[in-house]
Amino acid sequence: MNQQDLSNTAWAYAHSEISNAPLLNSIASSALPMISVCDSRSLSLIAWALAKRLVGDVPIIEAITADSLRLVIQAGPQGLANTAWAFSTCSVVHGPLFEAIASAALPSISLYGDQELGNTAWAFAQLCLRHAPLLDALSEAALAKIRDMTMDTEEASRGAYALAWAQTRLSRPDLTRAIVAEHMACGRCHRLSLGLVILDEEWRHDAPSDGAVAAIEAIAGHSVGSAKRTA
């Protein structure tokens, strides 16, 4: 099997939620000799699959770390997001790698989809890597996409919650509220994202007393209005 065969097989098993540690470890071992010629997509998919199925193959992770700069230069939005997510899921803190991911992501942030935005923000927040320019750019890109959504897709919901959670974890509740407020203005909001705002208001001494209540009423009012129009 070549690098593409290995990465596609690993992706298929992980995407199907099938855990087969011997197979995934074998794929990782087979990919190691190819590390110098593997493209960024193949290695990011293998790392993603191992992380998603919680199979911690240290040699392949270390090999990807050592070759991180070459990978980042080649990687597009999906490869960058998958690599960041895989390393954070495996709790591997590699400062130069994440700095390189951030530097590569910033110029192409407008090309990121909802899940890539959320996964990237989540990865940095999970490892408590506060990269303010990247977090601001991710939030700005997410806000720009909200009104273009024709429906509240599962991918959009997951991405919105991951981004809101990351902003809260990195002490940027202002960005969390901006994302939640914009979703509410469009008549939709992930319930977990709204929960983050409510939790923040419960813990903050200077939070507006009617903030969360107003948010809930806004959603309820929109739902009632939509029901009346349908009737």
Mean pLDDT by 10 residues, the chain (231 residues): 81 75 78 71 74 64 67 79 83 84 92 89 92 92 75 67 86 81 71 70 58 57 43 43
Looking at the domain assignment, is residue 120 inside a domain? no
Judge if 105 and 5 occupy the same domain. Answer: yes
CA 116 to chain centre: 5
> Which range marks the domain in which residue 152 is found?
132-231
Judge if 105 and 142 occupy the same domain. Answer: no
Name the pTM for this structure. Answer: 0.68
Judge if 96 and 140 occupy the same domain. Answer: no
Return the pLDDT at 227: 38
Judge if 88 and 141 occupy the same domain. Answer: no
Judge if 105 and 186 occupy the same domain. Answer: no
Place of tokens 């739902």: 223
Return the pLDDT at 182: 78
Judge if 72 and 5 occupy the same domain. Answer: yes
Residues 142/117, Cβ–Cβ less than 8 Å: yes
Return the pLDDT at 26: 81
95-102 — which CB contacts under 8 Å span 24+ positions? 95/129, 96/68, 96/69, 97/65, 97/68, 97/72, 98/123, 98/124, 98/127, 98/129, 98/131, 99/131, 100/68, 100/69, 100/72, 101/72, 102/131, 102/133, 102/134
Return the pLDDT at 231: 43
Judge if 88 and 137 occupy the same domain. Answer: no
